Homo-oligomer: A and B are copies of this chain.
C-alpha cells in the first residue's frame, strides 16, 4: 500500500469512538466524534501555503487532504471539541511508502508540525512527529474498507515516558449526507 491508496481509502465521513488511557493515573477518557476526510487539490491555497512555509515545492505533494472533527469527551460534557487540519504528504522520491507529512495543526500541540511516515508491509501507516516538549506516534490501519483503527501514543520529548495512549475505532458513515 502506498500513500495515494491509503489516503484514498480514508476519504469520507467516519463515526469515531476513541479511548484515551492516561497511563500515570490509570485514567480512562471516552470520546465520540464525527470525522470528515476530504481530498484537496495540489493547487488549493492551503496546500500551497503550507508547502511554501517549509520551502517545499507543492508539486512534490501527493494526495493532500483536510481532516475535520467534532466530538464530545466524557471529561467535560459542555465542551464540544471541533477543529480542522490540512495534511500534505510529501513522499520520498525513491520510496513512495515513506516520506514527510506536513500539517498546519499538530496532534499533540496545536502548532504546525512535520512528521515522518512509513507504511509497513502489512498496510499499517506509521507516523512519528516530534514537538518541542513531546513526541507522538500514530499507527493507522484498515480492518476492512469501512473500519479503521488508530493507536496513538504521546511521549515526553526525551522519548522515555509514554504519557497517553489512545485507541480510536472509526466506522465509515455510509449515509450520503452524513
Contacts and interface: CB of A to CB of B under 8 A. Distances in A.
Contacts of A100: none
Tell me what chain A mostly uses at the interface: helix, strand, loop, or mixed. Answer: strand
Q: How many chain copies does the complex carry?
A: 2
A21 B169 contact: yes
Interface size class of A (residues with CB under 8 A): 20 to 34
Interface string A128-161: 0000000001000001100101010100000000
Interface string A101-132: 00000000000000000001110101000000
B30 A28 contact: yes
A32 B25 CA distance: 12
A68 interface: no
